[in-house]
Structure 1
Amino acid sequence: MCKRCFPFLLVRLTSVYNKQMASTKRGLFSSLQELGSPSGKLCLLELSCGTGANFKFYLPGCRVTCVDPNPNFEKFLIKSIAENRHVQFERFVVAAGENMHPVADGSMDVVVCTLVLCSVENQERILQEVRRVLRGGGKEESDFLKLRMVHPP
């Protein structure tokens, strides 16, 4: 029941949150351009993507893969994708951050997690998974914790 109701609540809360955090998010996500692959494409994984509230802050052409343990977010993501045509939606993966096995090793330039690490069971395991999916030189960012960890190539 909670998994079905939570997305509806989050849709309402994220619009207020995004208004308050807009300048902070623009600042955090402005550096994404420099993190793209040598081909110029930027592959971004959003961990616990929720309703896709960060999409509007991503760079044009950014290829976004979303991971969330709650399958009920998918219909809200579809709406957010339609509203944010500047990003290229790749796929939605139903998985917990501690086990993102459907996401290939070294396949992401950036991993973004917003308001996630404070509410998970195993932060260390999630960060291990983030490191696994990041390509050499990738970065993970959390606007909640202001976490920026750069990995050497």
Structure 2
Amino acid sequence: MCNNNEQYDYNKHPWIGRFNSWLLAKYEDKIRQETGPMKLKWMKHLQGTVVEIGPGNGINFCYYPAGVKVFAIEPNPSMYGRLRLSAKTAEADIELKENFLEYMNLETSSIDAVVCTMVLCSVTNPEATLKEVLRILKPNGKYIYVEHVAAPKGSMKRKAQNLLFRTWKCLFEGCETNRNTGALLQSAGFSQVDMNRFDSTAMPWLISPNIVGVAIK
């Protein structure tokens, strides 16, 4: 049985890790078509050292320019095969880190940018994650994000998100359908948060409300 209050354990549920890697691969082309231009707008100018949290199968690696060093932190071992293949074809220097704790050991104000797409929905403590992001970012460092968010209160979609919350969380690595990630970003302590909302046609209906943007430390 899935415990909705604890960190996701891939050792207990290895088949779910494999399922999510396979499913993500099926959606990758549609996701690239929809959000690729948005990501490229910010990522093509990145320089120095970058941390990507939860890169999955490496869908974002193609947007990094040459000369960038990327620490890719992915806890799902079922992603590693596709992740390493994506890293081989990337222009940037990609180094895989297999544990979220590894980026907590990074020096304060040492990272030029953090990239995080479809991750804050599933971390146990998003406030603590964003606090750590702010700690490792250099002054004026960028946090580039794409996230699905809660639908408006009272809407049919929000009711469905609430109804299917536990089942979805068990099947999709702790992902919460109704997390208000936009508000979390606005209150995290960034000096500036640029945020655009859109309804995704690439993602499942339940998690189609999305936000994309960049926040500055």
TM-score using structure 2 length: 0.58
* Cα drift, residue 130 of structure 1: 0.7
Measure the CA separation in 1 of the matches of 2:54 and 2:66: 21
Among 51, 57, 63, which residue is 1:45 paired with?
A: 51
Report the counterpart of residue 131 of structure 1 in structure 2.
134
User: Could you tell me whether the CA contact under 8 Å between 2:45 and 2:65 is conserved in 1?
Assistant: no
Among 77, 91, 96, which residue is 1:92 paired with?
A: 96
Q: Could you say what secondary structure the match of 1:52 adopts?
A: coil
Report the counterpart of residue 5 of structure 1 in structure 2.
19
Among 31, 40, 45, which residue is 1:17 paired with?
A: 31
The structure with the larger Rg is: 2
* Cα drift, residue 116 of structure 1: 1.4
Residues 1:107 and 2:110 aligned together: yes
Describe how 1:62-73 pairs up with structure 2 within 5 A: 62-73=68-79
Structure 1 residue runs without a partner (length 5+): 37-41
Report the counterpart of residue 215 of structure 2 in structure 1.
149
How many residue pairs get matched? 140
Distance 1:102 1:77, change over 3 A: farther
Among 10, 26, 41, which residue is 2:40 paired with?
A: 26
Letter in 2 for 1:87: A
Measure the CA separation in 2 of the matches of 1:95 and 1:102: 11
Q: Could you say what secondary structure the match of 2:104 adopts?
A: coil
Measure the CA separation in 1 of the matches of 2:104 and 2:38: 31
Alignment RMSD (CA, Å) = 2.0
